[in-house]
Structure 1
């Protein structure tokens, strides 16, 4: 049985991805800062598929020490991690010149650092085994900056750049790397906005894309997939 680790696991895209992986018969390692949400979701996943193992650990993925403790414990509990979904992220609506003090560090530690650290943690084991798949959840802001979210755009540009480097380092070793690039997706970032869900990408759409990419033959890799709302960006 395969094992997957997902950051930002209990809400939005991370939640949908975790459910899809569970339905696929893949063991999952999930984390959250909120212990009740985490345990409730663990129980939900085990009801969805009683045949899989769900490892859950309370951790702040934007904290390097807690992130690596989670990665270490997940590996010890489940064994070799075949799939890493770097989903943790935050969106702050602010131009760079209007950023509050510490905003850059906060977004860097949420949007970029976890992917870098988990790549370094799991990458060599995947290389040695000549198998594995990293899915990095980027953003259309990785391609076209959003001036109203300047620092967010910078960190997502950097995440896409990191993803490309990861792919080049790993491709000759049989390890796959995919940049998932969503447009306007109905997650908690939109919780205070009045929007029509039929004009947006849903978290389940992102999860479906990941599952279908993962199912491809060993010789095929989707380098990047862009998923935007059919009517255009919201």
Structure 2
């Protein structure tokens, strides 16, 4: 049985990805700052597939110490991790000149640091096993900056660069690394706004793409996939 760690996994894309992997019979490690959300989602995942293991940790993924405690608990409870999905992220409408004090550090610690630390934590294990797949959830803003979300665009571009460096480091070891680049996707980032879900990418679309990529043959890697609304960005 394969084991997957997914950050930001109780809402939006992370939630959909966890459900998709549960249906595939993959054991899961999930975290959240909210103990009730975490417990409820664990129950839901085990109802979907009673044959999997679900390890949970009450942890803030943007806090390095709590993130590494989650990673260590995952290793102790599930063993070898085959799949990492770096999904944790935050979006903030703000031009850089208008950024609140501390937003830069918050964005780095949420959108970039977890992927870096989990790579360093689990990477050597994947190299030894000569297998594994890391998915980094980037954004179309990593390709085309959104001026109204300046530091978000910067951190997502940095995540894409980190992804590409990971892939080059890992390719000789048989470990796959994929950048997933969603466009306008119906997540909590759009809370409070009037949107038509039929004009957007759904979290389930991202989850389906990730599972499909993961199930490809051993010799195939999708370096990067962009998924945008059929009618263009909102």
Q: Tell me, yes or no, whether TM beats 0.5.
A: yes
| Gaps in structure 1 of 5+ consecutive residues | none
Once the two structures are superposed, what CA deviation does each residue of 1:53-111 show, in whole Å capped at 9, x if it has no partner? 00011000000000000000011000100000000000000000000000000000000
Partner of residue 162, structure 2:
162
> 3-state SS of the aligned residue for 1:185?
coil
Distance across 2 between alignment mates of 1:125 and 1:81: 8
Q: CA deviation at 1:9?
A: 0.5
Alignment of 1:153 with 2:167, yes or no, is no
Distance across 2 between alignment mates of 1:190 and 1:63: 24
Once the two structures are superposed, what CA deviation does each residue of 1:129-149 show, in whole Å capped at 9, x if it has no partner? 100000000000000000000
Alignment of 1:178 with 2:169, yes or no, is no
Report 1:20-169 matches (<5 A).
20-169=20-169
Alignment of 1:196 with 2:196, yes or no, is yes
Alignment of 1:17 with 2:14, yes or no, is no
Alignment: residue pair count: 234
Once the two structures are superposed, what CA deviation does each residue of 1:6-63 show, in whole Å capped at 9, x if it has no partner? 0000000000000000000000000000000000000000000000000011000000
| Gaps in structure 2 of 5+ consecutive residues | none
> 3-state SS of the aligned residue for 1:134?
strand
Q: CA deviation at 1:191?
A: 1.0
Alignment of 1:206 with 2:206, yes or no, is yes
Q: TM-score, normalised by structure 1?
A: 1.00
Distance across 1 between alignment mates of 2:218 and 2:193: 41
Q: TM-score, normalised by structure 2?
A: 1.00
Runs of 4+ residues over 2 Å off in structure 1: none
RMSD: 0.3
Distance across 2 between alignment mates of 1:55 and 1:136: 21
> 3-state SS of the aligned residue for 1:29?
strand
> 3-state SS of the aligned residue for 2:171?
helix
